[in-house]
Amino acid sequence: MLRKRIKLLLGALLMGVMLTGCSSFNMAAADLEAKLKGLDVIIRTFDEESQVIDKVKGKSVMIERDTTFDTVTSEGSNKDSSVIKISIGKNVMHHVGSSLIMAEDGLQDIFEEYAKTVDVTNTDRSVPFINSMVDTFKNVTTGKAKTILIRSQNGTPLATYLGNEVSIFSPDIPKTTVLLVDGQVLLIYRCDYTIYDTALLLE
C-alpha cells in the first residue's frame, strides 16, 4: 500500500513538472510587454540579401499582433494576421513580410562586425563561414556556451549572437520567436535560426 502511494505521488510530481515545463515555453503578450518595459532595444529589418533596410532605436517597446487584420476563412475559422504593431514610446510602426530582429541594447551581433571585414558572398565555399566567424572572434566566443545564427527566409545570414544560457519562447505573434540570451531579450520575426553549442563550431 505504501509503495503504491509513493508511485502515485511520484507520478503526480512528474506530471506537474511536465506541465510546468510546457507552459513555461509560451509567452503571453502581457508577459512580453512586461519583459520589454523600460528596456532600450534596437529594431532592424532586412531584405533577402541580409542588407539592413531600416534601424530604429527605442525604449519601453510593446510588440503585438495587429488584430485589425485578422480574417475569417470561408470555413468560418479565424486566421491570425501576420501584421505586427510595434509601439515605441508614443510612436507606432506596423510591419509585415520582411525579416525583423529586435535585440535588447547590449546584445552584440558579431555577424555585423564580421561582415565589415569579410565579403560573405565571396568567401571560400569550402570553409564553413559560421565556423570561420566564430574562430575569428575567439576573444568574444571564449566562455560562451551557445551561438545563435539567424537567417533570412531564403537562408542568407542576418545576425549572430552569443550567450551562456538561451531560452526559447513562443509569443502570441505569428512567425515570431522570443529568445532570452543570458536574460536579455532577442525577438525574431519571419527568420530561420539555428542554436549551436559553441564548442561544435570551434576548430
Residue-wise pLDDT tens digits, 27-58:
666 677 676 777 889 999 998 878 899 999 98
Residue 121 reports pLDDT greater than 80: no
- For the entire predicted model, the pTM comes to 0.76
Q: 66-119, pLDDT tens digit by residue?
A: 767 565 566 666 666 678 888 888 899 888 888 999 999 999 999 888 887 776
More confident residue, 142 or 67: 142
Q: What pLDDT was estimated at residue 155?
A: 86
Q: Is the pLDDT of residue 188 over 80?
A: yes
Cα dihedral 20, 179, 190, 128 sign = negative
